[in-house]
Chains A and B, each alone.
Chain A
Amino acid sequence: MRTRKKASLSLSFHFILLFILLLAATSFFRPAEAQNPKQEIISLPHRLSVEIINKWELDPLLEQRGRSYFLVSSEKLSQLKQVFPSLRVETANFPHLFKPRVSPTSKANPLTQGGLNGAYHSYSETAAELKKMASSHPQIARLYILGQSLENRNVYGLKISKNPGLVEDEPGLALIGGHHAREWISVEVPLLIAQHLVDNYSSNQSIRNIIDRAAIWVIPLVNPDGLDYSIFNYRLWRKNRRLNPDGSFGVDLNRNYSFQWGCDNQGSSPNPSSDTYRGSAPLSEPETLAVSQLFQEHNFAAAISYHSYSQTILYPWSYADQPTEDEALLQWLAEQMSRLIFQVHGREYHPGRSSSSLYLSNGDFADWVYGLFKIPAFTVELPPVDFLSGGFFNPENDLRSIVEENLPAVLFLAEWVVDNYPPANHPAKIKERLEDQGKNLVKKKSKLLTGKEWP
């Protein structure tokens, strides 16, 4: 009896042991996950001709630090390696490109697409969207890295143009967002407008006309470090992530541009802990420097900088309450854009001179663009209209309508830019004028573009 009991105990024990081992073993095996057809990202230390790109069915992605990046199917990889010995496989460096924003197995609320920031884009999500646009529309979109932030995030610029890899004699329109970290909507508007432009190039005649004759530069996120800090740490963070000498953090990027920088302490602050700290010097921040270099290297004819909140369309000057010499044109353009915006969803964006409509600010982007390049530059303050209506918070279901209403204003300004190019101070125009009038070259300070639609 006792022996049988012992045997039974021993048997039970072995079953328990077997069960534990099986449990342990199975816990480390998982079924393989289904994957999309495999693609790889490669880079080469030189540009390729269009023929070679077409021959190998390469999708140009971006250019960075002297290397050109392409999307290729993995089947062609081995052949390409033989043809281009200097080829590097870079897929591992682009982890977000092939990764869906939401896991397919996610049981999350469908309204919440992207984690803490919901439907809004973080830095990595913005980068992934831009790369996707560039890779899916290589004929009209190319992604450039304009510079890097303090924490080594890229400041991206998407060039949308007929030949995005070429420097052509065409006017540029800059759509720039995300100067201030907490203004999440200011990233969405230029990003989703870019998406609309590339998606509708082939089907929309007016968009095709613009892209064929102009270069739209979309820089949706000037302050990537600040945005991620706003998402992960403190929602109302505004500045970049500079560690200041006094131990405080951040420079207000929209007070750091080099026109009338720090001309007084009302429009910006010399105090590092202030929300409007202008930095230690004009263009002291790598983020503003990246924007500055882009403007110096390319031929821009107009620019819009998106911010929130207050529903206004502001034009220079911002540093002082006085009109520019082109007040009438700027006001007219702002009014036209305001009218077009209102027509979409009935939301009113008040047009006006920045200094008198909002508050004084110096070293800001729009003053810098107008002051240095003498081209129309606007600050569009997106909804809501005031702080109590949400301030820097926009409901996710408002996002689409805000983008929709801003689209006609962008198209209008782009068409105006195209119609008024080349400007009066363009060498071709000057030559033409000289030939017509037989006069000597008049060395005059460059003037604003003037056009037939300007009354």
Chain B
Amino acid sequence: MNYGRQVRVLFIFFITYLLFIPNVLKAQLSPEQYLEESPLGSWNNFGADSAPSLGAGLRQIVLLNSGASLLGNPAALAAGSSGSVLDFSFRFQQARLYKFWMVNTGVLSTTGNLNCLTAGLSYAGFSGRIKGWTLAGAYAQTENYSRPQIDYSLSRDGLLYEQLLLSQTGRQEVYAVGLARSLGRRLSFGLTLAVLNGYLRRNFVEILWVDNVNLKDVRNQKISGRYLVFGLLYQFNEKLALGWSLIPPYTRKFQGTSLSAFYSEETQVEIPGAGNDRVRMPLITGLGAFYKISAALDISAEAIYFGWKSYTFNYFGETLERNFKNILRLSSGLSYKSTFRFLRKQWEAPYYAGIMIDPQPMTDVRSTYYYLTFGSGMGNADFLLILSTAIGLEKGSGHNLTNQKVCLSLQLRPALLNKFIGCRKQK
């Protein structure tokens, strides 16, 4: 494929993508999905978001040649062809919500869905090979708990009577180290230790201007915990590989403080609260298959099981009922790699496409997201830059919710790293 054709294909892809956005953003999300601790977009979070993964239907278990497999299947670190690499991924996420907190649950109502947009570094990591072992370390933002901010005012005859301000922000970050090794020519195994860190902040202020009364409800929680990821990858031959990944159940800790307060000219009433909560996270395990159709084209399929039935949630000392069911998330992805020469260098241009069916664990409403994913990029021996998107349309809640992710990944490859290291050595 020549360069001109490459550019044309990319152009067509981005035009298609842009045309698709407005249609997607009309849609929405499910009501029962957005509980206090619900991650934005989906309950079923596994691995880290990176463009190669996102574009190929959130390929996680048989994701080769990407450091991001550290959190999905560490065994894949040893199986890929890359040597030392540095990976950086940035994520833009846009989700549409209908019911959450006090919005559309009795206090504030909206005529349609509300939009929540977040952006940030989703993954930064390295992996390197030493004597048959692959070592990797990474930072990843795996969950986001943001909600649309609300600033509501009630005025009559030009007089401001009441004002409500509510905001929720939060995220879960992971610091992970892992190692992987090939056992013989076919089998690889990997193990990752992930340490959790994060926060969840809820702020609510209600001002009754006529009485000059101020009500507050402030909640801050720190999230901590750790979990393991086990992975295996078995290569039957040069074309076919099977992967297996397991995250055993683990405990996520929430240490929180709260303040419910009433302030008026006559009195101040403050009810401080605290909670040391433990949230039992479910077992997650998945199987994936990877098949190389030709030198340039491969296909993958993954099934990931989330044991949500065993999930328990404590919130400031209260066990809140989460009547969840177990979930099987199914996905499939294609990737095609074309090569061309440009500026006297050999370039590659991968293309990704995928689908994913992502049922949500709530039992009182059958809510499922159906995803289409696309991605493409360009790179050479020094780097690879990929942009991918996943567009999720929800069915079941009646609110046509959406979840959309865009991921931009940059991989710095061995050739560039060697050059960099070589330069430093010369100095």
Are A and B genuine complex partners? yes
A236 to B425, CA, bound (A): 67
B120 sits at the interface (CB 8 A): no
Stretch at the interface among A79-87, A260-268, A385-393: A385-393
Nearest B residue to A21 by beta-carbon distance? B191
**A388 touching B267, Cβ below 8 Å:** yes
Residues of A within 8 A of B267 (CB): 384, 388-390
**A233 touching B318, Cβ below 8 Å:** no
Interface residues on B, range: 35 or more
**A248 touching B109, Cβ below 8 Å:** yes
**A396 touching B271, Cβ below 8 Å:** yes
> Smallest Cβ distance from B150 to chain A, in angstroms?
12
> Size of chain A's interface in residues, with CB distance under 8 A?
55
A132 sits at the interface (CB 8 A): no
B157 sits at the interface (CB 8 A): no
**A115 touching B266, Cβ below 8 Å:** no
Interface residues of B in 252-284 (CB under 8 A from A): 258, 260-262, 264-267, 269-276
A412 sits at the interface (CB 8 A): no
B217 sits at the interface (CB 8 A): yes
B317 sits at the interface (CB 8 A): yes
**A116 touching B179, Cβ below 8 Å:** no
A248 to B226, CA, bound (A): 42
With A17-B179, A27-B226 as contacts: A112 and B274 at CB distance below 8 Å: yes
Main secondary structure of the interface of B (DSSP, over half): strand
A102 sits at the interface (CB 8 A): yes
B17 sits at the interface (CB 8 A): no
With A107-B276, A116-B273 as contacts: A236 and B177 at CB distance below 8 Å: no
With A24-B191, A107-B276, A112-B274 as contacts: A388 and B213 at CB distance below 8 Å: yes
**B102 touching A234, Cβ below 8 Å:** yes
**A387 touching B109, Cβ below 8 Å:** no
**B219 touching A103, Cβ below 8 Å:** no
> Smallest Cβ distance from A45 to chain B, in angstroms?
26
Nearest A residue to B219 by beta-carbon distance? A116
**B272 touching A118, Cβ below 8 Å:** yes
Convert A64-98 into 0s and 1s, putting 1 for each residue whose CB lies closer than 8 angstroms to a CB of B: 00000000000000000000000000000001100
**B130 touching A13, Cβ below 8 Å:** yes
**B193 touching A23, Cβ below 8 Å:** yes
**A234 touching B107, Cβ below 8 Å:** yes
Residues of A within 8 A of B109 (CB): 247-248
Residues of A within 8 A of B261 (CB): 393
A421 sits at the interface (CB 8 A): no
B153 sits at the interface (CB 8 A): no
B316 sits at the interface (CB 8 A): yes
**B315 touching A387, Cβ below 8 Å:** no
Residues of B within 8 A of A105 (CB): 276
Nearest B residue to A14 by beta-carbon distance? B133
A96 to B219, CA, bound (A): 24
> Smallest Cβ distance from A113 to chain B, in angstroms?
9
Convert A276-288 into 0s and 1s, putting 1 for each residue whose CB lies closer than 8 angstroms to a CB of B: 0000000000000
Main secondary structure of the interface of A (DSSP, over half): loop
A13, A20, A235 — most chain B CB neighbours (10 Å): A235
Residues of A within 8 A of B248 (CB): 28
**B193 touching A124, Cβ below 8 Å:** no
Nearest B residue to A25 by beta-carbon distance? B228
A237 to B105, CA, bound (A): 11
**B260 touching A118, Cβ below 8 Å:** yes
A10 sits at the interface (CB 8 A): yes
A270 sits at the interface (CB 8 A): no
**B133 touching A13, Cβ below 8 Å:** yes
Residues of A within 8 A of B204 (CB): 234
B151 sits at the interface (CB 8 A): no
A239 to B106, CA, bound (A): 10
> Smallest Cβ distance from A13 to chain B, in angstroms?
6
**A27 touching B193, Cβ below 8 Å:** yes
Residues of B within 8 A of A250 (CB): 106
A95, A234, A236, A249 — most chain B CB neighbours (10 Å): A234
**B269 touching A393, Cβ below 8 Å:** yes
A241 sits at the interface (CB 8 A): yes
A152 to B76, CA, bound (A): 47
Convert A99-131 into 0s and 1s, putting 1 for each residue whose CB lies closer than 8 angstroms to a CB of B: 001110111110110111111101011000000
B238 sits at the interface (CB 8 A): no
With A388-B265, A388-B266 as contacts: A108 and B276 at CB distance below 8 Å: yes
Residues of B within 8 A of A116 (CB): 219, 258, 260, 273, 275, 315-316, 318
**A393 touching B262, Cβ below 8 Å:** yes
A232 sits at the interface (CB 8 A): yes
A114 to B317, CA, bound (A): 6
A13 to B316, CA, bound (A): 43
Convert A252-275 into 0s and 1s, putting 1 for each residue whose CB lies closer than 8 angstroms to a CB of B: 000000000000000000000000
Give which listed residue, A20, A107, A241, contacts B179 with CB less than 8 A.
A20
A229 sits at the interface (CB 8 A): yes
Residues of B within 8 A of A235 (CB): 215, 217, 260
**B317 touching A115, Cβ below 8 Å:** yes
B206 sits at the interface (CB 8 A): yes
A223 sits at the interface (CB 8 A): no
A95 to B320, CA, bound (A): 12
With A116-B258, A388-B267, A389-B266 as contacts: A13 and B274 at CB distance below 8 Å: no
**B317 touching A101, Cβ below 8 Å:** yes
**B258 touching A20, Cβ below 8 Å:** no
Q: Please list the residues of chain B having a beta carbon within 8 angstroms of any beta carbon in chain A.
A: 36, 101-102, 105-107, 109, 130-131, 133, 177, 179, 191, 193, 204, 206, 211, 213, 215, 217, 219, 226, 228, 248, 250, 258, 260-262, 264-267, 269-276, 315-320
Q: List 18 A-B contacts (CB under 8 A).
A: A24-B193, A28-B228, A95-B319, A96-B319, A105-B276, A112-B273, A114-B273, A116-B275, A116-B315, A118-B273, A232-B315, A235-B217, A236-B215, A237-B106, A247-B109, A388-B264, A391-B213, A393-B269
Task: Return the 3 tightest CB-CB contacts between A and B, nearest first.
Answer: A115-B316, A108-B274, A249-B106
Q: Given A95-B319, A106-B276, A124-B319, 11 more contacts at CB 8 Å?
A: A24-B193, A109-B272, A114-B273, A233-B101, A233-B102, A234-B106, A234-B204, A241-B106, A249-B106, A388-B267, A393-B261
